[in-house]
Amino acid sequence: MNILKIDSSVLGDNSVSRNLTAGIVADLVAKNPSAKVTVRDLDREAPAHLGNHLLPVLGGPKDGLNAAQQAELDITEAYLAEFMAADVLVIGAPQYNFGIPSQLKAWIDRIAQAGRTFRYTENGPEGLAKGKKAIVVSSRGGVRQDGAALDLHEVTVDVVLRFLGITDISFVRAHGLAMGPEAREAGLTTAKTEIAALNDALRAAA
């Protein structure tokens, strides 16, 4: 089993999503001791955001790249190789101002490439990253107030993964983290309960 852990929180050791992704990966490795784990810390090694200088890297001819573009191409190819090799994705996705962290979006911009992770067909786009499982840790300071209207960060991750062909997606939610000690504890308890249920389901499927 190949596990790819993606962390995008900027809070370092104080990050709830990081602590939860680490726990999920530890559980997976305990169940699969031979598993290979690859970690991408998108805060400590943040990918450059999409700009004109990156367009040759993300598509089209690769001739004539300058040194900076070649370095970006190398890291992009590494991201793509890790993503395609992964059997399980564990993604930490905190909510920042209604959306996902910009560094997680920058990573998505690197791996969502036509002809590599999806393709266009006469019947519409088709994801090429099928057969993977994704576990998404969704953390936020508040709670959902009105359905999905303020839930853009979960919607974004879910839509992107499905577009790339990944349909086995589980969300672990730690919400209400900034609403006082009781709400924080309740949010963490909910997340731990969801992780336990996820582990039970994985054991049953083994």
Known binding positions for FMN: 9, 15-17, 139-142
Q: 78 and 90 in contact (C-beta within 8 Å)?
A: no
Phi, psi of 2 (to 5 degrees): -105, 125
Return d(Cα 146, Cα 151) in angstroms, integer: 9
Beta bridge partners of 136: 91, 171
DSSP H or E segment with residue 168: strand 168-174
Q: 99 and 156 in contact (C-beta within 8 Å)?
A: yes
In the three-class reduction of DSSP (H, G, I as helix; E, B as strand; rest coil), residue 92 is classed as strand
Annotated binding-site residues read: 9, 15-17, 139-142
Which is nearest to 87 in space by CA: 21, 147, 28?
28
